């Protein structure tokens, strides 16, 4: 068989059902070999869309999402989505065609050193120079991408190698290594520290979701009566409705949930990545005692000096520590704080002023979605509001990019989420600027039949940047633009569009959009005067505990 066929067989062997991408001249053999395979190729309208689809697919399923582009510009177009996946710890395998090995040593049409280009944004990167290495390369790429901490593997596939014949080679057996159980001694040390703590608190990160250890986390918190704050990327790891939940932490401002950390003496960081929330923002005095429970040793940071580290299987660590800890007083110290947080959530639930307040949009969205439905946020002011106020009840139901935090993830991400979970309603929540960065994927969604709702918070501005400029300089610069008519835009793709003309209609429009069972844009004018009001409110916050 041809090397390209062996390559596709190896992808099938990894359980790959879908590849997102755009064909090119230098991957002709791969595209042709796909015709004989069980793998579905989703042709996107931009390689960035393909990379974001693979990113969200990987994040939701734990299996590497696969994206493909051609050499040169096809590969560079993949980069933003790949970097996003790599920094958000989503498993992804990115594949690019490459020129033949006979012209890689010199100036040559569309040729870039792709392995080097992808190096800072991948865990493993390699060029296939010999067909016989394909089974090892593909196996290694998937293994490295999927093991903790997950990220990107990049494969460059020169066209002359793809066209070569190869015989006697088979895909390698897929093996998934299990994380080791952390040493008993470390669990005991952690238990001792927590037993002696007056006000311990948990900060849970995305690692807990990746480890499938949300139940263990909740059990740990309940057994020991310890409140839980989650990072943006860990939303839903404990249901917001749980009395021990303090909601989400990660805003730069001192938020309600920060009051809990201020009062804590020991912080139990489980599956937490500092990429999400700088320790200097929550451990200014460097006085908190840190218990680090994670799949790998802690990053070095002067604000994150670990007292006890339990490295390995997160669920086993949580169970082990809980069984060894004795707390004399297991009443959570944060009851009044939780009450203030819960009350704030519904403060604007009846507010019908127009344009719609961020808090009200989120409230209404929560009302129409079931606990297992999925929201994918884009990046902007709307993301801050969603992180703060969207009440997630289950892990992986509110997807936020908070490592690389690239605009443009929501629309392609929603397409991938709908492919992964066809029975769940999927809503992309996006700013008007981020929407326009990957709106071309509406065509992909219509063509492949993935019904999604795209809820645009329209302000004709880079809302988040205006918020920051106003906070810092009390004036703003270069943040305004105009939008197309989003309704006509949707209709031009054969999709549907609704404009929210009065706040009273929002909830029924959202409900209808989900029912419509096609791609639907909901254009919702937003009142971002609330942004600076929130900054002022949090600036004057008197902690309720």
Residues 98 and 95: their CA atoms lie apart, in Å, by 10
- Minimum distance, C-beta of residue 400 to ligand TPP, in the bound complex (Å): 12
Beta bridge partners of 18: 40
Q: Does 453 bind ligand TPP (CB under 6 A)?
A: no
Q: Which of 200, 463, 497, 525 is close enough to bind Mg ion by CB under 5 A?
A: 463
Q: Does 455 bind ligand TPP (CB under 6 A)?
A: no
Q: For residue 212, how many other CB atoms are within 10 A of its CB?
A: 12
The C-alpha torsion from 63 through 65 and 66 to 69, rounded to 10°, is -160
3-state secondary structure 297-355: CCCCCCCCCEEEEEECCHHHHHHHHHHHCCCCCCCCCCHHHHHHHHHHHHCCCCCCCCC
- Minimum distance, C-beta of residue 485 to ligand TPP, in the bound complex (Å): 17
Q: Which of 52, 142, 333, 457 is close enough to bind ligand TPP by CB under 6 A?
A: 457
Q: Which of the stretches 106-114, 121-129, 275-283, 424-432 binds Mg ion when contact is defined by CB under 5 A?
A: 424-432
- Minimum distance, C-beta of residue 356 to Mg ion, in the bound complex (Å): 14
* 173 phi/psi in degrees, rounded to 5: -60, 135
Residues 476 and 401: their CA atoms lie apart, in Å, by 26
Closest C-alpha to 511, from 500, 501, 527: 500
Q: Does 406 bind ligand TPP (CB under 6 A)?
A: yes
- Minimum distance, C-beta of residue 144 to ligand TPP, in the bound complex (Å): 26
Coil, strand or helix: which one is 96?
A: strand
- Minimum distance, C-beta of residue 458 to ligand TPP, in the bound complex (Å): 8
Tell me whether residue 151 or residue 431 sits nearer to ligand TPP (CB atom). Answer: 431
Residues 358 and 353: their CA atoms lie apart, in Å, by 11
Q: Does 441 bind ligand TPP (CB under 6 A)?
A: no
Tell me whether residue 8 or residue 407 sits nearer to ligand TPP (CB atom). Answer: 407
Tell me the number of residues near ligand TPP by CB under 6 A. Answer: 20
- Minimum distance, C-beta of residue 81 to ligand TPP, in the bound complex (Å): 10
Burial of 49 (0-12, 13-18, 19+ CB in 10 A): buried
- Minimum distance, C-beta of residue 380 to ligand TPP, in the bound complex (Å): 2
Residues 254 and 544: their CA atoms lie apart, in Å, by 13
Q: Does 186 bind ligand TPP (CB under 6 A)?
A: no
Q: Does 393 bind ligand TPP (CB under 6 A)?
A: no
What are the structure tokens assigned to 137, written together? 């390369």
Q: Does 461 bind ligand TPP (CB under 6 A)?
A: yes
Burial of 538 (0-12, 13-18, 19+ CB in 10 A): middle
End-to-end C-alpha distance for the chain, whole angstroms: 69
Tell me the number of residues near Mg ion by CB under 5 A. Answer: 4
Closest C-alpha to 533, from 329, 385, 404: 385
Q: Which of the stretches 51-59, 70-78, 247-255, 378-386 binds ligand TPP when contact is defined by CB under 6 A?
A: 378-386
- Minimum distance, C-beta of residue 105 to Mg ion, in the bound complex (Å): 47
Q: Which of the stretches 145-153, 155-163, 314-322, 460-468 binds ligand TPP when contact is defined by CB under 6 A?
A: 460-468
**Nearest residue to ligand TPP on Cβ basis:** 431
Sequence length of the chain is: 545
Q: Which of 72, 250, 431, 497 is close enough to bind Mg ion by CB under 5 A?
A: 431
Residues 38 and 9: their CA atoms lie apart, in Å, by 9
Q: Which of 49, 380, 395, 497 is close enough to bind ligand TPP by CB under 6 A?
A: 380
- 379 contact, one of Mg ion, ligand TPP, none, CB 5-8 Å limit per kind: ligand TPP
Q: Does 378 bind Mg ion (CB under 5 A)?
A: no
Q: Does 358 bind Mg ion (CB under 5 A)?
A: no
Q: Which of the stretches 167-175, 211-219, 256-264, 372-380 binds ligand TPP when contact is defined by CB under 6 A?
A: 372-380
Q: Which of 465, 470, 543, 545 is close enough to bind ligand TPP by CB under 6 A?
A: 465
Q: Which of 75, 407, 416, 509 is close enough to bind ligand TPP by CB under 6 A?
A: 407
Q: Does 274 bind ligand TPP (CB under 6 A)?
A: no
Q: Does 432 bind Mg ion (CB under 5 A)?
A: yes
Distance of CA 70 to the CA centre of its chain: 25
Q: Which of 207, 463, 497, 525 is close enough to bind ligand TPP by CB under 6 A?
A: 463
Q: Does 59 bind ligand TPP (CB under 6 A)?
A: no
Q: Does 433 bind ligand TPP (CB under 6 A)?
A: yes
Q: Does 386 bind ligand TPP (CB under 6 A)?
A: no
Calculate the alpha carbon distances from 529 to 379, 386, 466, 540 in Å: 18, 16, 11, 17
Q: Does 432 bind ligand TPP (CB under 6 A)?
A: yes
Q: Does 131 bind ligand TPP (CB under 6 A)?
A: no
Q: Which of the stretches 16-24, 47-55, 257-265, 425-433 binds ligand TPP when contact is defined by CB under 6 A?
A: 425-433
Beta bridge partners of 455: 429, 522
Laid out side by side, the sheet with 65-69 consists of 40-43, 18-21, 65-69, 92-98, 152-158, 124-127
Tell me whether residue 334 or residue 531 sits nearer to Mg ion (CB atom). Answer: 531
- 290 contact, one of ligand TPP, Mg ion, none, CB 5-8 Å limit per kind: none
For the stretch 298-304, contacts whose Cβ atoms lie closer than 8 Å and that sit 24 or more positions apart, written own/partner, are: 299/273, 299/274, 301/274, 303/278, 303/279, 304/274, 304/279
3-state secondary structure 227-266: CEEECHHHCCCCCCCCCCEEEECCCCCCCHHHHHHHHCCE
Instruction: Give the footprint of ligand TPP on this chain (CB under 6 A).
Output: 378-382, 405-408, 431-434, 457, 459, 461-465
Instruction: Give the footprint of Mg ion on this chain (CB under 5 A).
Output: 431-432, 459, 463
């Amino acid at each position: 068989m041809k090397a390209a066929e062996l390559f596709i067989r190896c992808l099938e062997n990894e359980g790959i059902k879908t590849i997102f991408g755009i064909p090119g001249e230098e991957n002709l053999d791969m595209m042709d070999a796909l015709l004989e395979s069980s793998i579905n190729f989703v042709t996107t309208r931009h390689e960035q869309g393909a990379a974001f689809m693979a990113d969200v697919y990987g994040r939701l399923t734990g299996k590497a999402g696969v994206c493909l582009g051609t050499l040169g510009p096809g590969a560079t177009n993949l980069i933003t989505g790949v970097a996003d996946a790599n920094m958000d710890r989503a498993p992804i395998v990115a594949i690019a065609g490459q020129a033949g090995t006979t012209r890689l040593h010199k100036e040559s049409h569309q040729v870039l050193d792709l392995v080097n280009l992808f190096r800072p944004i991948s865990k493993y990167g390699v060029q296939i120079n010999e067909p016989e290495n394909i089974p090892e390369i593909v196996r290694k790429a998937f293994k490295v991408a999927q093991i903790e901490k997950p990220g990107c593997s990049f494969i460059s596939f020169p066209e002359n190698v793809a066209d070569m014949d190869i015989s006697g080679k088979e895909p390698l057996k897929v093996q998934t290594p299990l994380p080791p159980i952390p040493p008993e001694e470390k669990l005991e040390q952690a238990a001792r520290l927590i037993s002696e703590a007056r006000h311990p608190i948990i900060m849970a990160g995305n690692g807990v979701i990746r480890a499938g250890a949300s139940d263990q986390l909740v059990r740990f918190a309940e057994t020991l009566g310890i409140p839980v704050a989650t990072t943006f990327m860990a939303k839903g790891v404990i249901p917001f409705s749980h009395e021990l939940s303090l909601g989400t932490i990660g805003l730069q401002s001192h938020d309600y949930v920060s009051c809990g950390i201020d009062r804590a003496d020991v912080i139990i960081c489980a599956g937490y990545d500092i990429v999400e929330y700088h320790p200097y923002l929550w451990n200014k005095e460097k006085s908190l005692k840190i218990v680090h429970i994670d799949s790998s040793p802690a990053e070095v940071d002067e604000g994150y000096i670990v007292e006890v580290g339990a490295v390995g299987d997160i669920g086993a660590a949580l169970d082990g520590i809980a069984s060894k800890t004795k707390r004399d007083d297991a009443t959570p110290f944060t009851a009044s704080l939780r009450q203030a947080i819960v009350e704030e959530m519904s403060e604007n639930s009846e507010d019908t002023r127009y344009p719609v307040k961020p808090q009200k949009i989120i409230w209404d969205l929560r009302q129409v979605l079931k606990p297992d439905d999925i929201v994918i946020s884009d990046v902007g002011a709307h993301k801050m509001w969603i992180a703060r106020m969207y009440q997630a009840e289950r892990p992986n139901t509110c997807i936020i990019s908070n490592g690389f935090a690239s605009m443009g993830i929501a629309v392609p991400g929603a397409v991938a989420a709908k492919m992964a979970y066809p029975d769940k309603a999927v809503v992309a929540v996006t700013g008007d600027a981020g929407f326009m960065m990957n709106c071309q994927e509406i065509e992909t969604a219509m063509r492949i039949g993935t019904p999604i709702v795209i809820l645009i918070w329209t302000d004709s501005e880079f809302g988040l940047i205006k918020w920051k400029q106003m906070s810092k300089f009390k004036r703003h610069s270069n943040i305004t633009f105009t939008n197309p008519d989003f309704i006509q835009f949707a209709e031009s793709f054969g999709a549907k569009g609704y404009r929210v003309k009065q706040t009273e209609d929002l909830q029924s429009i959202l409900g209808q959009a989900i029912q419509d069972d096609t791609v639907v844009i909901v254009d919702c004018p937003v009142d971002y005067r609330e942004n600076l009001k929130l900054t002022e409110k949090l600036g004057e916050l008197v902690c309720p505990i």
